[in-house]
Amino acid sequence: MTRKIFLLFIALSVITLICISCKSTPKEAPVTTDTTVIAAKNKADQARKQALDFDGNKYFPSEWDNAESQYAAAANANDAAKFNALADVYSDLYKKAIPLYAQAREDELMAIREQIIDSGFADVFPQYLKNADDLALAAKQKYDSGDYNAAKESADAALNEYNTLLTGAKIYLTRQEIVNRGFTQYDSDNFAKADEIAQKAIDAYNAGDKGAAAANAEEALTRYNIVLSNGWTIYAAERKEDAEKERKLAVADRANIASKETFRSGDASLESANEFYDSEVFSEAALAFIEAEAIFSVSRKETAEKRMRAEEAIRAAEEKIEESSESALEAEKIIEGGSK
C-alpha cells in the first residue's frame, strides 16, 4: 500500500512539472494557411512598403508607430480584417507623404545642381548637366501625371547623376586651386596621376559606365586633395619663413619702436599664424603668415617714412639756423658800419 502511494506521488509531481512548463513557454503567433488572411497581409505589406519608400515613417512618426503596433497585433491574431484595415492606414500615410517627399527630393536635386553650376563645371561640360536635367524633368513629368513610383525611380536616377557631376565639380575646383596657386611643383607625380585617372573617369562616363566613372572620379579627387594638402603644407612653411624674416628686418630697422602699433599688429597675425601652423591647419596658417609679412613690411615703410621726415625736419632746422646766423652777421655788419 505504501509503495502505491509513493508511485502516485511521483506521477502527480511529474504532471505538475509538465503543467508549469507549459505555462512558462511563450505562445508564438499562430501560422495560418488561410488564403484570405495571406492576401490581406500581402495587401498591408505592399501598402506599408509604399509608405516606407516615401518616408512616411519620418514625416508622420507617431502615426507610423501606431500603425506598426496594429500590424503586430494583426500578425499575432492572423486577422484578415485587421490587415485590410491596416492597408488603408498605410495607404493614407503614403498619400500624405508623397508631396512632402517630392518637395524634399526636388530641393535636394536643385541644391546639388546649384553647386555644380557655381563651380563652373557646367560651363566646361554642359552636356553632362543636360543629361541630369533630363532625368529630373522626366521625374517631374511622371509626378505630375500621378505615376509616383516611376517618378521616384527617375528622381533617384537624377540624384545619382547629379552626385556624380558634383564629384566632377569638386575635382574641377580642386584642380583649379592647385594650378592657380602653383602647387603642382610640390607634388608633380601625384598631380600627373590624378590627371590620368580623371581622364579615365571622363572616358568611362562617356562610354556609359557610370560605376567606373564614379570610382575613378573618387580616386582622382583623393589624389588631387593630397596634392592640395601637400601644397598647403609646404607653402605654409615657406610663408612662415618669409614672415619671420620680414619681422627680423623690421626689428633691425627699429620699426618695433618707430612704428610700434603696426609692428604689434604684425606680431598678433604672426602668433595666430603659428597657432594654425601648430594645429596643422596649413591653409589658414599660410594666409595668416602672408598677412603678418605684409604688416611687418608696412611697419618698415612707415619707419622709413618717419625717418625721412625727421631727416627733412633736421635739414630744415639746420637751414634756418644757417639763415639766422647769416642774418646775424649782416646785422652785425650794418651796426658796425653805422657806428663808423
Q: What is the pLDDT of residues 232-268, one digit of tens each?
A: 999 999 999 999 999 999 999 999 999 999 999 999 9
Q: How far apart are the first and last CA of the chain?
A: 179
Q: What is the pLDDT of residues 48-94, one digit of tens each?
A: 999 999 999 999 999 999 999 999 999 999 999 999 999 999 999 99
pTM: 0.70
Count of beta carbons in the 10 Å neighbourhood of residue 338: 7
Contacts of 216 (CB under 8 A, 6+ apart): 197, 198, 200, 201, 204
Contact 304, 253 (CB under 8 A): yes
Distance between CA atoms of residues 150 and 146, nearest Å: 9
**Which pLDDT value is given to residue 313?**
80
Contact 59, 10 (CB under 8 A): no
Q: What is the pLDDT of residues 217-240, one digit of tens each?
A: 999 999 999 999 999 999 999 999
**Which pLDDT value is given to residue 25?**
37
Contact 87, 70 (CB under 8 A): no
Contacts of 231 (CB under 8 A, 6+ apart): 178, 181, 183, 184, 186, 187
pLDDT confidence tier of residue 22, bands split at 50, 70 and 90: very low
Contact 164, 213 (CB under 8 A): yes
Q: What percent of the chain has pLDDT over 90?
A: 78
Q: Which of 150, 200, 148, 194 is nearest to 171 (CA)?
A: 194
pLDDT confidence tier of residue 285, bands split at 50, 70 and 90: very high
Distance between CA atoms of residues 42 and 26, nearest Å: 26
Contact 184, 230 (CB under 8 A): no
Q: Dig out the grid coordinates for 97 from the structure.
A: 507623404
The CA distances from residue 328 to 41, 315, 334, in Å, are 123, 20, 10
pLDDT confidence tier of residue 19, bands split at 50, 70 and 90: very low
Contact 174, 228 (CB under 8 A): yes
| Lowest-pLDDT choice from 33-37, 42-46, 103-107 | 33-37
Torsion of CA 276, 235, 256, 297, to 10 degrees: -130
pLDDT confidence tier of residue 331, bands split at 50, 70 and 90: low
Distance between CA atoms of residues 167 and 254, nearest Å: 52
Q: Which of 175, 263, 183, 152 is nearest to 224 (CA)?
A: 175
Q: Compute φ and ψ for 153, nearest 5 degrees.
A: -60, -45
Distance between CA atoms of residues 146 and 257, nearest Å: 78
Distance between CA atoms of residues 248 and 258, nearest Å: 15
Triad 159, 163, 164: Cα angle to 5°: 120
Triad 65, 69, 73: Cα angle to 5°: 165
**Which pLDDT value is given to residue 171?**
95
Q: Dig out the grid coordinates for 311 from the structure.
A: 631727416
**Which pLDDT value is given to residue 311?**
79
